[in-house]
Amino acid sequence: MTETSGPGAELRAMRRRMLGAPAAVAVTGEVLREAIAGLLPDTLLKLLRWQACVDPSPRTRQLVARGKRLEFGREYRRSVLPKTGRTREIDFGDGLSLRFAADQPAAEMFMSRVLPKVGVHEPELVRYLKETVQPGDVLVDIGAHVGYVSCVAAALGAVVFAAEIQPTLIPMIQLNAALNDLWTVHPFCVEIGDRMGIATTLRVNPSPGMRGSVGEVAESEYPATSPNHDSIPRLTLDALFTGRPPPAIVKVDVEGAEGRVLAGAGQMIRAGETRFVVEVHAQQLAGFGNSLADLVAPFDPDRWTMAMLTADGREPLTREAFLDPAGPVAGHVHNAPVLFEPRG
C-alpha cells in the first residue's frame, strides 16, 4: 500500500511526464498540494528527490527537506504510541484482514469479552460497510472505543473521524490504525451531542458500555476542579461540519445518548446527504431523557427510510415497528443496529 487513496488524474499524469522528461516537469502549485494530500511520505519524498536531481535550486532543496520532515513525522508518531507485543488478527473476509493490539489494559475488556473468539464483532455493521463504503467517503465513528469500526472503514478506503469521550482510548485508536498502516483515521477526544461547550467525563476504566454503566453519576455537572473527571470539548455534528461537505456515513454507538447526537445533527439530517447507522440502546434512552420516539422524530418519513441491519443484509423497518415496545428494536437481544437512509 503506497498511497492513501491513489493519486488524482493530474498527479498521475505529472508522474508519467516526469519519467519521460524529468527536466520539463515542476512539482509546484496545485500539483504539489495534491501530491502532499495523496501520497504517503516515502513516495512523496521520492518524487521531490527526482525533482531535485533535475532542478537543484534552493526552493527544491527546501521541498526535499520538508518531505523528510513528513517521513520523520510518521516515525515519531509511531514512537510515542503505546507498545504492543501481542496482536490479534481478524479476518473480515474478501481479503480484508486487520490487526488489533491484544495486550493493552485499555483494550483488554474489548479484546477478551466483546470480540468473539471466532468471527467478527458486529457482523451486521461490518457487512454494511463492506457493501457501501467507497474510497474517499467520510465516515464519522461516534463512540469509537479502540477504533475497531474506524479501522474497518479506513481499510475500505474511507476517511474516518473517530470521536471518543474517553481520553485513555485515543492512543489505542491511533495504535490500532498504525498497526494496519491506516493514516486516514483521525481520532478526536470529544463528546458529540446536542450542544456546544465543555463536557466533564468520569475518569473510569475504559470498558465498552462505560457511559451506560456509570449512569446518572456521569450525567451530573461537575466542576473542572474535580480530580475524578476529564474536561473535553463538546460539539454538535452540525458544528463539526460547518463549512465542510457532509459525511457519507455517521455511525452512532453511545450507550443511550444517541438522541442527543441526533438532536445536534438537525441541519445534516435535513440536508439528506448522510446515512446514519445508529446502535439503539433502547433500555438506556430514558437515562438521557430520550425515548424511541425522540430518535425517529428528526427523520421525515417522506424523505427517509429505515432498516434493521442483520447478518444477512438489510430488513425494512416501519415506524410502527420501530416504536413498538415489544418490537424488533425495543426487544432486540443486544442493541439494535438501525439504518436511517435518505430516499432516492
| Domain membership of residue 51 as a residue range | 9-80
- Do the domain assignments include residue 26? yes
Entry pTM: 0.90
- Do the domain assignments include residue 197? yes
What's the pLDDT score for residue 53?
Answer: 83
- Do the domain assignments include residue 226? yes
Question: Which regions of 165-274 does DSSP assign to beta strands (E)?
Answer: 185-189, 191-192, 197-202, 229-235, 249-252
Asked if residue 219 and residue 234 are part of one domain, the reply reads yes
Asked if residue 92 and residue 76 are part of one domain, the reply reads no
Residue the block writes with cell 467520510: 138
Asked if residue 199 and residue 277 are part of one domain, the reply reads yes
What's the pLDDT score for residue 288?
Answer: 92
- Do the domain assignments include residue 152? yes
What's the pLDDT score for residue 32?
Answer: 81
Domain count, the chain: 2
Q: Show pLDDT as tens, one digit a residue, over the chain (344 residues).
A: 334 445 556 666 766 766 666 666 666 677 788 888 888 888 888 888 888 887 788 888 898 999 999 999 999 999 999 999 999 999 999 999 999 999 988 888 888 878 888 889 999 999 999 999 999 999 999 999 999 999 999 999 999 999 999 999 999 999 999 999 999 999 999 999 999 999 988 888 887 665 544 444 455 678 888 899 899 999 999 999 999 999 999 999 999 999 999 999 999 999 999 999 999 999 999 989 999 999 999 999 999 999 999 988 999 999 999 999 999 999 998 899 999 999 98
Distances from the Cα of 167 to the Cα of 2, 100, 105, 231, angstroms? 31, 19, 14, 10
Asked if residue 76 and residue 225 are part of one domain, the reply reads no
**Segment 238-260, tens digit of pLDDT:** 999 999 999 999 999 999 999 99
Asked if residue 223 and residue 274 are part of one domain, the reply reads yes
Asked if residue 100 and residue 69 are part of one domain, the reply reads no
What's the pLDDT score for residue 212?
Answer: 46
Query: Which residue, of 80, 100, 117, is where some domain finishes?
Result: 80
- Do the domain assignments include residue 37? yes
Give me the DSSP letters along 27-73. Answer: --HHHHHHHHHHB-HHHHHHHHHHHHHH---HHHHHHHHHHHHHHHH
d(CA 121, CA 46): 40
Asked if residue 152 and residue 52 are part of one domain, the reply reads no
What's the pLDDT score for residue 14?
Answer: 65
Asked if residue 182 and residue 73 are part of one domain, the reply reads no
Cβ count near 1 (within 10 Å):
9
Contacts of residue 100, Cβ cutoff 8 Å, sequence gap at least 6: 87, 88, 90, 107, 111, 115, 146, 148, 151, 176, 179
Asked if residue 91 and residue 75 are part of one domain, the reply reads no
Asked if residue 254 and residue 232 are part of one domain, the reply reads yes
Query: Which residue, of 80, 110, 140, is where some domain finishes?
Result: 80
Cβ count near 17 (within 10 Å):
12
Asked if residue 76 and residue 91 are part of one domain, the reply reads no
- Residue 175 maps to which CATH number? 3.40.50.150
What's the pLDDT score for residue 156?
Answer: 98
- Do the domain assignments include residue 4? no
What's the pLDDT score for residue 35?
Answer: 82
- Do the domain assignments include residue 2? no
What's the pLDDT score for residue 3?
Answer: 41
Asked if residue 255 and residue 120 are part of one domain, the reply reads yes
Query: Which residue, of 30, 60, 80, is where some domain finishes?
Result: 80
- Do the domain assignments include residue 3? no
